[in-house]
């Protein structure tokens, strides 16, 4: 699928190869810090949107967190490859399309276009591969077939499906693997069960080997989209989609499995187990979870109807750079609540930075550079609030030199010169 347009990321070193530090980030699986990548090459898979509620501030905050990680990697001279999916066929999308009387493909296309535009406005670097699930039905089905062959999956009759003898395929979480289910996301049994229920996992279905077993393949139901495949006519389950796409694009283990904290269980946990079942030694080296954004006291979500959309804020006159600053003013792992005053404060901060950017650097030989300040704060678990404060302090004591302007662009994604030129 066509990704969005990539903005240029200036190099901060005269020779063009990055000399920044590799970042230390908080890994969910270790529940501690890890310097990533171990070597000079990094790969990252980010769970993408289900295109029916794009793009709210929670999405923007998540993708901005991993955009920051990518920028820090590039500055450290790391070779980076990234992939992301779009869950363009799934229950919530189908339900929304039915409710609104539109085709599910039409709804997905429209939301994906909106998302693409929002990501471009916010200057979020696009993934090297942005893959729609509907583009990869056959490889996903093939992964499910392999899990049936190895005994990692089993079938259950699907009485309400189209056709005689149709079956759903489920993943067997009771089978012994390298680590028990829940260990990777640091989740206990009661919480796992509650989250399985919350995320549509149908724990009470008769015949399941464990209530936690997720669906790998759903046989065709009347009125639902379905594809012919080696495991019957139907459509894939949510976790195996991401597993198959990530492994196809990046191999396994790749460096970082990334997503919002609400994906910690079951989604990312099951990806990890699916990958083991498919023969990978590990799905990813580390697992990163961005914090969740609340509005009016609740996590922002379509079902609660408390969405703040990026497109709406921009239509109402917010500058995208100010919105970016408002989001970067929260640490990527923190849960936080959105208040409109945060955007006002960010607009004022942007104005201060813009005013500074025009101060002449009369004697470049005397000037300081913001580069080390930004590198230090961001290498420390991507501490963007500290990086913004570093700029606030820096602009009070030094003129605007070319290197600092480039660093604010490369590492924070704010190109003050282009904002001024508008």
Interface residues with Zn ion (CB under 5 A) are 47, 242
Specify the pairing of strand 215-219 against strand 167-171: antiparallel
Q: Between vectors from CA 338 to CA 333 and to CA 339, what angle results, nearest 5°?
A: 145
> What is the nearest approach in angstroms of Zn ion to the Cβ of residue 203?
20
> What is the nearest approach in angstroms of Zn ion to the Cβ of residue 67?
17
> What is the nearest approach in angstroms of Zn ion to the Cβ of residue 130?
13
Rounded distance, CA 261 to CA 331, Å?
13
Rounded distance, CA 92 to CA 260, Å?
18
For Zn ion, which is the closer residue by CB, 85 or 357? Answer: 85
> What is the nearest approach in angstroms of Zn ion to the Cβ of residue 87?
7
Closest CA to 163 of 217, 117, 125, 220: 220
For Zn ion, which is the closer residue by CB, 37 or 266? Answer: 266
Phi and psi torsions of 238, nearest 5°:
-65, -50
For Zn ion, which is the closer residue by CB, 247 or 346? Answer: 247
For Zn ion, which is the closer residue by CB, 64 or 242? Answer: 242
> What is the nearest approach in angstroms of Zn ion to the Cβ of residue 245?
8
Rounded distance, CA 280 to CA 273, Å?
10
CB 18 within 8 A of CB 57: no
Rounded distance, CA 201 to CA 206, Å?
13
For Zn ion, which is the closer residue by CB, 47 or 412? Answer: 47
For Zn ion, which is the closer residue by CB, 126 or 237? Answer: 237
Closest CA to 112 of 139, 136, 130: 130
| DSSP tag of 56 | B
């Amino acid at each position: 699928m066509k990704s969005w347009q990539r903005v240029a990321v200036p190099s901060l070193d005269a020779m063009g190869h990055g000399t920044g530090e590799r970042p230390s980030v908080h890994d969910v699986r270790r529940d501690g810090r890890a310097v990533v990548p171990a070597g000079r090459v990094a790969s990252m898979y980010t769970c993408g949107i289900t295109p029916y509620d794009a793009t709210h501030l929670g999405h923007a905050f998540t993708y901005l967190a991993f955009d920051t990680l990518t920028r820090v990697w590039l500055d450290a001279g790391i070779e980076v490859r990234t992939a992301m999916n779009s869950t363009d066929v799934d229950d919530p999308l189908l339900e929304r399309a039915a409710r609104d009387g539109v085709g599910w493909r039409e709804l997905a296309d429209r939301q994906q276009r909106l998302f693409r535009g929002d990501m471009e406005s916010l200057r979020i670097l696009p993934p090297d591969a942005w893959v729609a699930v509907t583009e990869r039905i056959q490889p996903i089905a093939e992964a499910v077939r392999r899990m049936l062959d190895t005994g990692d999956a089993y079938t259950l009759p699907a009485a309400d499906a189209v056709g005689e003898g149709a079956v759903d395929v489920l993943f067997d979480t009771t089978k012994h693997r390298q680590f028990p289910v829940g260990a990777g996301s640091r989740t206990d049994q009661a919480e796992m069960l509650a989250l399985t229920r919350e995320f549509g996992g149908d724990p009470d279905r008769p015949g399941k080997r464990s209530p936690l077993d997720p669906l790998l393949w759903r046989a065709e139901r009347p009125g639902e989209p379905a594809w012919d495949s080696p495991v019957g006519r139907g459509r894939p389950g949510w976790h195996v989609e991401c597993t198959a796409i990530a492994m196809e694009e990046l191999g396994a283990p790749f460096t970082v499995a990334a997503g919002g904290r609400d994906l910690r269980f079951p989604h990312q946990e099951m990806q990890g187990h699916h990958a083991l079942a498919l023969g990978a030694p590990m799905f990813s080296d580390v697992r990163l979870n961005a914090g969740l954004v609340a509005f009016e006291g609740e996590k922002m979500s379509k079902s609660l109807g408390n969405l703040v959309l990026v497109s709406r804020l921009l239509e109402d006159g917010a500058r995208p750079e100010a919105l970016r600053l408002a989001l970067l003013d929260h640490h990527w792992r923190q849960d936080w609540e959105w208040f409109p005053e945060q955007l006002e404060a960010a607009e004022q901060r942007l104005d201060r930075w813009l005013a500074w950017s025009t101060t002449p650097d009369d004697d470049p030989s005397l000037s300081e550079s913001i580069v080390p300040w930004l590198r230090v704060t961001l290498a420390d678990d991507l501490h963007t609030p500290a990086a913004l404060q570093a700029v606030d302090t820096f602009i009070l004591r030094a003129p605007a030199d070319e290197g600092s302007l480039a660093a604010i662009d490369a590492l924070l994604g704010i190109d003050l010169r282009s904002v001024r030129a508008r």
